[in-house]
Structure 1
Amino acid sequence: MVNPTAPRLGVVVPSGNAAVEPEISALLSGHVHVHATRFPLFTEFEQRERIARYNEALAPAIASFGRLGARAVVAECSGSHYLQGPAREQEFCDDLSARFGVEVTTVTRTVLAALASIDATEVTLVSPYAQWLTDLSQGYWEAAGIKVRDIVKVRSSKGFSPYDVSTDELVEQVRAADRPKDEVLLMTGTGMFTLAALEELKAGVERTIITSNLATAWWSLSRLAPDAVVNWRLAP
């Protein structure tokens, strides 16, 4: 059954990202409905310039929700906000929230909120990114006060590409890294499918693994449906 009165979450997603809607919807279990719009393609630009332009395109994307009645909107491209840095990102979200009269945040800010909720100040990054983007990611988290203890690089059969990492590839490479179970693993990238891997790695049961989509789901429930009961948790 679908609850037509459940609060509505808007997400703004890169065009090729197939993971955000199904993963967040699965985690929200119908307590919050997910409604998506997409950033422009910007195919004429290389990746760094393209993700920078997503920040300029976010306001029109939010406007495209029109009369949907979203209670909150999350921008779902981590790299765009690595480029901004946490201080500028805060101002950016505040400005958009005031402009549209709805809380606007970013996936990276939902990750920071999730980490704060479990008192985590150190992480080991699990990164499917190319080196330049991994470096930007590390710089962002450290600027936000999160110590990066180490980095586990995850490579798909097609190279460093979040969209192409399979569950088997992700699980195998995380297990091969043999990180201590008391570490917090932070899996970066909204476009990497992670839910099946979290189950195999006993996330929330034997160890703490935070992913971009898990953080957005947790943040959405905390804001929009705080009394909802779900069958997962951030930490054991």
Structure 2
Amino acid sequence: MSHHRIGMIVPSSNVTVETEIPALLARHASATFSFHGSRMRMAKVSPEELVAMNAQRGRCVDELADAGVDALLYACLVAIMAQGPGEHRRVEEAVAEQLAERGLPAALVSSAGALVDALEAMSARRVALVMPYLRPLAEQVVAYLEAEGVEIVDWAALEVGDNAEVGCIPGDRVLEAARSLDLRHADALVISCCVQMPSLPLVPVVEKELGLPVLSAATAGAFCLLRALGLPAELPDAGSLLVASGLVSTSRGHSPS
């Protein structure tokens, strides 16, 4: 059984991604993982704080490089998507260059890029979203995904601006929002388009109830981390994205030696 170190760059007020990603990867049949975090200060999910948070990225990458991680997850979806179309590619390229300067062949995944890639892997071109953000940021997420060729058929924003409060949104509120969406033309539902909004227990339940593939920022992140590490992207009770996905190669980031 192989072992892999996962580095996570997270907003300082985030708690959910450091719960859900380890919970997901602990289910893997042929690998074990340890998790190593570095934090960027952010309390309010506002354009100004997101820009200031992103400016701390370089320090976080250096800290995780010191730990010799095998893969790195830049775990804030909206911080990247709010900067305009294609930003996840620019961020991933910059981080890859920084890691290369340190001589670290780590695989790289961003939450924003992971969601785009997971939807592509599922051939999901018409998608519904549940998001915690205030409406202006939610509209930017919709525009970002549409620029990637994804048609957003319906979406719900829970209008929570305090990031600590996002981590406390109850599952029944997320479920209610999902049930309110018009899913008649959807190929998939993203039940949490945010790594801070808890949703992991809901994914298989809602998938069964609504009868279409359900994923989240966390399940997309886990899928792409496994794929980047060259491991089978198969995890139980995590939705159809992670069922019998098999070994999938990736051209993004750097494969660990």
Q: TM-score, normalised by structure 1?
A: 0.85
Does 1:234 find its partner at 2:233?
no
User: 2:137 aligned to 133, 139, 151, which one?
Assistant: 133
Q: Are the structure 2 counterparts of residues 204 and 112 from structure 1 closer, same or farther at C-alpha, using a change threshold of 3 Å?
A: farther
1-structure distance, mates of 2:148, 2:173: 29
**Offset of residue 145 of structure 1:** 1.5
**Offset of residue 142 of structure 1:** 1.0
Does 1:163 find its partner at 2:167?
yes
1-structure distance, mates of 2:215, 2:230: 20
Q: Which amino acid aligns with 1:221?
A: L
2-structure distance, mates of 1:165, 1:15: 18
1:154-179 CA deviation, whole Å, 9 max, x = no partner? 467x9xx5323101111123224363
Q: Which amino acid aligns with 1:93?
A: E
**Offset of residue 108 of structure 1:** 0.6
1-structure distance, mates of 2:234, 2:128: 29
1:40 alignment counterpart: 41
Q: Are the structure 2 counterparts of residues 59 and 49 from structure 1 closer, same or farther at C-alpha, using a change threshold of 3 Å?
A: same
Decide whether the 8 Å contact of 2:114 with 2:224 is kept in 1. yes
User: 1:190 aligned to 195, 199, 206, which one?
Assistant: 195
2:250 alignment counterpart: none
Does 1:108 find its partner at 2:109?
no
1-structure distance, mates of 2:148, 2:233: 29
User: 1:13 aligned to 10, 14, 17, which one?
Assistant: 10
2-structure distance, mates of 1:204, 1:111: 22
Q: What pairs up with 1:1-236 in 2 under 5 angstroms?
A: 6-29=3-26, 31=31, 32-41=33-42, 47-101=46-100, 102-154=106-158, 162-177=166-181, 179-180=183-184, 183-186=187-190, 187-202=192-207, 206-227=211-232, 229-231=234-236, 232-235=238-241
**Offset of residue 192 of structure 1:** 0.5
Q: Are the structure 2 counterparts of residues 169 and 214 from structure 1 closer, same or farther at C-alpha, using a change threshold of 3 Å?
A: same
**Offset of residue 59 of structure 1:** 1.2
2-structure distance, mates of 1:105, 1:85: 18
Q: Which amino acid aligns with 2:240?
A: L
Task: Note the residue ranges of structure 2 that are not aligned, 5 or more in a row.
Answer: 101-105, 244-257
Aligned-pair identity (%): 21
2-structure distance, mates of 1:142, 1:163: 26
Q: Are the structure 2 counterparts of residues 66 and 233 from structure 1 closer, same or farther at C-alpha, using a change threshold of 3 Å?
A: same
Q: Which amino acid aligns with 2:213?
A: T
Q: Which amino acid aligns with 1:23?
A: E
Q: Are the structure 2 counterparts of residues 90 and 177 from structure 1 closer, same or farther at C-alpha, using a change threshold of 3 Å?
A: closer
Deviation above 4 Å: which 4+ runs of structure 1?
A: none
2-structure distance, mates of 1:74, 1:11: 5
